[in-house]
Amino acid sequence: MTTRKPTRDPEIETNILPDGHVVLVSPKTEWAHTLNPLAALVWEFCDGNNTAADIFAQISAIDSIPHTKSLEQEITELITELEESGFLLE
């Protein structure tokens, strides 16, 4: 994991659904992306104050999150997906 601190693009519209999923909408591209509850947590922690390692540590501390061996990799992949989709600032 890098020391870079992922930061949400402030122009992205965030819509929380009743089931814990989140819909991100980019007004620039008019593209929408749905996040499952884990990805929604990752999105929430991408505030420019946390590295990927910090995000992993904070999510790992939540008792209701399954602590699988692949959790760290899954979080890293989610951050990469958000970056590649243009939802995070570079």
Task: Give 48's DSSP letter.
Answer: S
Which residue reads 């929408």 in tokens?
32
Q: Nearest-CA neighbor of 24 among 80, 78, 87, 77?
A: 87
Give Cα separations from 70 to 49, 51, 58, 81 (angstroms): 23, 18, 15, 16
Q: What gap in Å lies between CA 5 and CA 16, rounded to an integer?
A: 23
**Could you give all domains of the chain from N- to C-terminal order, each with its CATH number?**
7-89 (3.90.930.60)
Which pLDDT band, with edges at 50, 70 and 90, does 65 fall under? confident
Residue 1's pLDDT is 59
Query: With 90 as the cut, is the pLDDT of residue 2 above it?
Result: no
Specify the pTM: 0.90
Q: With 90 as the cut, is the pLDDT of residue 66 above it? A: no
